[in-house]
Amino acid sequence: MFTGLYSNPGFADSVPFIENWPPASSDPLQQKAEALLNFCFPNASLLAPGSSEAYFYEGLKGILTPDNINHLLREYKHFHVHWPLIHTPTFDPIAAYDGLVLAICCVAAVYSDRMTPKSVRWFMELVRSVVLRESQMYKLAQNPQQTLDPNRHTSSDVEEFEALALLHSLFLWHGSQQQRQQGREEFFIFANITRRAGLMQPLPRSNPSFSSLHEPGPITGDEVALWNWDSWVENEKRARAMAYIFLIDAASTIFFNAQPLFDVSEIKVSLPADDAAWEAKTEEECASALGLRGEAAQVANVSGSRRAKQLSMSEALQVLYRGPHGQIPERSTNAFGKFLLIHAIHVQIFNIQRQLLRRMSTSSTSTPDGPATPPNGVSEQIQQLLRSTVQALELWKTCWDIDRAIQYPPTQPRLGFCRDGVHYYFLARLFLRSSRREEWAAPADLRCRHVFNLLKSIRSHVAADSTQKGIDFGSATTVTDDYGINDLTLNMRHLFTPIQAPRSLSLQSPTPTHPQ
């Protein structure tokens, strides 16, 4: 199932995260299990027998055994295919930030047969409270007297952002209605941390972790001499963390009518690099995938842009919004980059529709329900933004069609939700055609049902069109038909579906009792 997803062939023959790991019975993994328990309950020896805290501790102790941790980290591959946030070639679970390892385990538990969905919700509730309690970035950002250096960068800071992002995702896509509401309401704190920590901007040259391939502007020719794999990885992790946080915000806007918290024009970090470079296991493989060793060395980078430096979101949007004269050369972006850009266009559509609703409320104008034509009395500024957004959307589709044929020929499967932006193109067209208040001002859960119903009909259309053209369906067509529609206590496994049918596994240790 991995064949063709990533360009480096070695990835197809291995499971991410575990190639160089010690076995579950080894001392390092046992020590990590103990460290994770201590991270959650630093005063476990002082817990009163029979107390709720002691009960929670015993439940967590049953989950965080070395064997279960090893199993969960293996299961994370199902989510990683959809959202390649973690740099698997260099990720060391023993040395990594405990909060990130716990967040990864929570996500992986969704795909494991060792825990029920209800137990996973208990697990992620506990882990989220602990990570918020222990996160240094969270503490700093919530202190109004504390000044954050926007140029500050440490690997542990990025791992904190990765952990918080994964947990926010779980609360949106695997939570109960109450957990989902909590995640939406508290996201503004996370967005504020992201902004204050400077994650929206690339690191300057004065920073020791500076990467020439992550600064704005064209290729200068000095990149080969300045390139360093460690710095490149750290900056790419930083860029992907920002991309994923932005997607949480944009998805909340699309599916829950939440006001977007990020101005897309302010996101200056690069779009995600090609899969072949991100999944490369060695410095030389990465350099070859990026094109730093010449065009001939890029032969393994089939599905990417084959560009050493990616555009930033703001740069790419400027091109898309230049109107009918705007052009993006083929292979300017990869599929993940296009997925981010279509979400940025959705944010613009939401802002337009909200402005139209405000105008119509004050002018008592009837609401339109047809082609994207603004009502009389709407300012020229809104009308121009609407026209340019329609043009940007169609230019995005042109780029998608051209690059899909080049980057994903029939022999190159396109797996992973983040590589499946075309469904959101059709959704955007529907959104542009309707300014009805009952849709754009609908409560979150009602909006959620409506959008997933729309996506369900779009999936059928895309699948039929793909069959006719002989192209890959993509991953959005595998979403369970009733996800987000019937039962609003969600199971993320039915949204970001496993890459293959999971095997039936049984615990080698007694099944833990999970507090409900």
At residue 339 the predicted structure's pLDDT band, cuts being 50, 70 and 90, is: very high
Model confidence pLDDT, tens digit, residues 346-373: 999 999 998 888 776 665 544 445 445 5
How would you class 420 by CB atoms within 10 Å of its CB: exposed for 0-12, middle for 13-18, buried for 19 or more? buried
At residue 381 the predicted structure's pLDDT band, cuts being 50, 70 and 90, is: confident
Residues with Cβ within 8 Å of 36's Cβ and at least 6 positions away in sequence, in order, are 64, 69, 98, 101, 102
Residue 508 has pLDDT above 50, yes or no: no
Amino acid present at 462: V
Among candidates 516, 419, 513, 505, which has minimal Cα distance to 108? Answer: 505
Of the listed ranges 59-68, 295-304, 326-335, the one predicted with least confidence? 326-335
Q: What is the pLDDT, as a whole number, of residue 30?
A: 92
Query: What is the pTM (predicted TM-score) of this model?
Result: 0.89
Section 269-275 average pLDDT: 97
Residue 13 has pLDDT above 60, yes or no: no
Residue 294 has pLDDT above 50, yes or no: yes
Q: What is the pLDDT, as a whole number, of residue 10?
A: 29
Model confidence pLDDT, tens digit, residues 119-172: 999 999 999 999 999 998 888 777 777 766 766 677 889 999 999 999 999 999
At residue 447 the predicted structure's pLDDT band, cuts being 50, 70 and 90, is: very high
Helix, strand, coil % over all residues of the chain, rounded to 5: 60, 0, 40
Residues with Cβ within 8 Å of 499's Cβ and at least 6 positions away in sequence, in order, are 1, 2, 77, 78, 81, 415
Q: What is the pLDDT, as a whole number, of residue 425?
A: 95
CB atoms closer than 10 angstroms to residue 294: 8
Q: What is the pLDDT, as a whole number, of residue 225?
A: 84
Q: What is the pLDDT, as a whole number, of residue 510?
A: 32
Q: Under DSSP, is residue 222 helix (H, G, I), strand (E, B) or coil?
A: coil
Q: How far apart are the first and last CA of the chain?
A: 35
DSSP annotation of 42 = T
Section 285-294 average pLDDT: 95
